[in-house]
Structure formats: C-alpha cells, structure tokens
C-alpha cells in the first residue's frame, strides 16, 4: 500500500485530498483495502452507487455487453442506448434524451440546449442563466461559471459570460434577478456539495410557476439526487413539479461513468444534427450498466420505498444526536438517503476518526458530514454509524 500511494503521489496530478487507504474490492455496502480491512461505505462513490458495489445484475450486464460490443460511433445505432433512452423517457417527464459521460457534460449539454432553444425563439439577447449561490454544477468552464461557489472558479478566470447567481430558497431574490435576457433557471433540487441544503416545497413550486409565466426554461441538476437517492426515482417528484430539462449522472450507471440530459420535445428540437455530440456518449457498456441499474431500482418499487424508510430511520438517529450534542451539531437535513449533519466546527477530524473505525463518510462545505450510502444499506449498518458518531461527538462536546 505504501509503495502504491507513493507512486500515486509521483504520477497523478494533485487534484484530490485522498485518504490514506487503498481499496481493492467492493461488495454491496462494504469496501476492502489491500491490507484486508473492511469498511462500511456511507459515501457510495458520492451518491454514485444506488445498488452498492459490484451489484450482480450490473456486473453481469457489463460482462455480457463487453463480449458483444464495447464501442461504436454514434454515427450508428446500438440497442443498449435505445433501451436506456426508452426507460428514461417512460419513467420521467421527458420526451428526448442526450447521452454523455458525466454530470458536468450533462450540465454543459443542458446549458447549450437552453441557450440554443431560447435564441432561436426570442433572438440573440436571450441567453442568461440564473443559478443559485452555493450550488455545484461541474468542473468544465461553463459549469464552474454556473456554480455558485467561488472556490471552484479561482485561477480559471476569465469565466464565461451569461450567468448570474441568487440566494437559494429565496423567491424574491430570484424574481429580482429576472429580466428579458434570462433564458433558464438552473437549480439542484437539493444542494449536495453546498452542504445538503433542501429548499421548501413552496419555493420550488413558485419557481416552476415563474418559469411557466415568463417562458423561462427550468433546468434541474439531478446529477446527485437522481436514480432513487431521495426515495423517488427523481427528486423533482418530491416537490410535485416537473422541469423542462433535467441532468443525470452519478447513480445512473450503478458505478459506471455515464451522464444524460433529458428534455421535453419542443425544447429538445433545438438540438439538430451536428449541434452537439459526444464520442463516447451512450457507450454500449455504460448503457448496459445503466439499464441494469434502472431496472433494478424500479423493480416492484421496493428499493425506492426502502430508501425513504431507511432515510427516515437514519435522519431520526442523527437528529437524536443533535439533541444530545447541541453544542457540536448545528443542523440535520436532507431527504431519503442523501443526508447531512452540520457541525459547529471543521468536520475533517470526524471523517478521519470514522475511517480509522472502518466507516467511510465525507465532508462537504467545510462543516457538514454527508451521508450518501448505497440504497441497500441496512439498519444494523446505520446503527454502527450512529453509535460511532455518538462516541465521537461526545468526545468533541
């Protein structure tokens, strides 16, 4: 392990704050290091493993597809791509799908689609996109500009024009920012990287009404919230509304890289032959993994129901810790199995202490512990987490 970590430091660019552990195997909710230690995974690839590590149906789907066809250009048709697009349309608001490789690419496609649609309909002045402060939409030039956090922009200026940021969950701030140049509002239904911040149902419904009244496109970035994470297949269902464009990635491939941009028919028509593309978008292997993941998540609705129930169980346990250690725990928030516990101090030491005890969690927004385990996590495993946090928070208080 030490030798390989030294080689990583030598050969890999230093863009991640990695923990001192080297994983070689994963099964279900567990990861195993090269030293043979077992860990319960409450990070889940940062909401990327709804079915856990190496789910049999996903593994078999990838294996079978790899024996048939690994890659072919999008100048031709492939069955896995068509099956995935059909599944996404059948189970969402959307009529059309563009497939790519990541959340940032999906958001890039959404930004381009919104601008092209609006410029064709209203003219060249209609191109501004409103996003939220504290948001996170990716690491490309357009998506870091869209992101409402300065730390991801530093060093990459000049940024792209055409974005403005407003306070999240503040409808008046949003109204004040709208003028005739605005073509879209782009929001995360829950701000994940921003600290697991959940807006009110009333706010989201009013945003939808404003967009409908002003013919402004509503884009939901569901890269982190999609594919069952909140207890419904997509988080927009929790608010009783539908977007015009939605982006997916992370959990869609069950751990295999894939992204998707979904849109209503009249919006999707703005993308014509040659207006957007991706060499590996809709790759047969990625689509086979995504089809297996979606079919398993949707099977009988049991997994979605269990995600909601387990999320309530874990959230209740975290709230009890908040009451017990009110000097340390500021807030508990989230939905389904996307939960956050905000601390009154830096949370990195808690993350490190959990790692030492065989539990993987991570820290977001500096002070918030984030929990995005596989949806197959058990109550017994959640109790191990809660008991560990109980001990650690007790020491901090």
Catalytic residue IDs: 136, 221, 250
In our burial notation (b when 16+ CB lie closer than 10 A, e otherwise), range 295-327 reads ebbbeeeebbebbbebbebbbebbeebbeebee
26 φ/ψ angles, rounded to the nearest 5 degrees: -140, 140
CA 137 – CA 191 distance, rounded (Å): 10
Length of the chain measured in residues:
397
Q: Kindly report the number of other CB atoms within 10 A of residue 37's CB atom.
A: 13
- The structure tokens 């080689």 sit at 7
Question: Please, are residues 225 and 190 in contact by the beta-carbon 8 Å criterion?
Answer: yes
Indicate the DSSP class of residue 242.
-
CB burial of residue 76 (10 Å; 0-12, 13-18, 19+): exposed
Q: Two tokens at 307?
A: 């995600």
Q: Two tokens at 129?
A: 């996109």
């Amino acid at each position: 392990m030490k030798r390989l970590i030294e080689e990583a430091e030598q050969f890999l660019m230093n863009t991640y704050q990695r923990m001192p552990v080297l994983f070689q195997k994963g099964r279900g909710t567990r990861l195993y290091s090269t030293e043979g230690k077992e860990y319960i995974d409450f990070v889940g690839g940062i909401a990327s493993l709804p079915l856990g590590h190496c789910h049999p149906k996903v593994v078999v789907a990838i294996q079978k597809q790899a024996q048939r066809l690994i890659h072919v250009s999008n100048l031709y048709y492939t069955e896995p791509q068509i099956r995935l697009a059909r599944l996404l349309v059948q189970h969402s608001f959307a009529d059309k799908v563009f497939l790519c490789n990541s959340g940032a690419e999906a958001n890039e496609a959404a930004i381009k689609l919104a601008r092209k649609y609006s410029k064709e309909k209203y003219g060249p002045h209609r191109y501004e996109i409103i996003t939220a402060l504290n948001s996170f939409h990716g690491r490309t030039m357009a998506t870091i500009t869209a992101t409402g956090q300065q730390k991801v922009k530093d060093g990459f200026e000049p940024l792209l024009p055409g974005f403005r940021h407003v306070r999240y969950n503040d409808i008046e701030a949003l109204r004040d920012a709208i003028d005739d140049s605005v073509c879209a509002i782009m929001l995360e239904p829950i701000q994940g990287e921003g600290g697991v911040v959940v807006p009110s149902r009333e706010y989201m419904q009013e945003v939808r009404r404003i967009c409908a009244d002003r013919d402004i496109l509503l884009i939901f970035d569901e890269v982190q919230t999609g594919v069952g994470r909140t207890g419904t297949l997509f988080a927009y269902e929790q608010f009783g509304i539908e977007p015009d464009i939605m982006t997916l990635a992370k959990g869609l491939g069950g751990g295999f890289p894939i992204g998707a941009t979904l849109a209503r028919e009249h919006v999707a028509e703005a993308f014509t032959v040659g207006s957007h593309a991706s060499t590996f978008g809709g790759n047969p292997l990625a689509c086979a993994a995504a089809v297996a993941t979606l079919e398993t998540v949707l099977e009988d609705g049991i997994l979605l129901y269990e995600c909601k129930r387990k999320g309530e169980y874990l959230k209740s346990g975290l709230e009890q810790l908040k009451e017990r250690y009110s000097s340390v725990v500021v807030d508990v928030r989230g939905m389904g199995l996307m939960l956050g516990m905000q601390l009154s101090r830096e949370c990195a030491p808690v993350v490190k202490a959990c790692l030492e005890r065989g539990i993987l969690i991570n820290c977001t927004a500096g002070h918030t512990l984030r929990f995005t385990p596989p949806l197959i996590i058990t109550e017994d495993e959640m109790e191990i987490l809660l008991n560990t946090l109980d001990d650690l928070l007790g020491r901090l208080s």
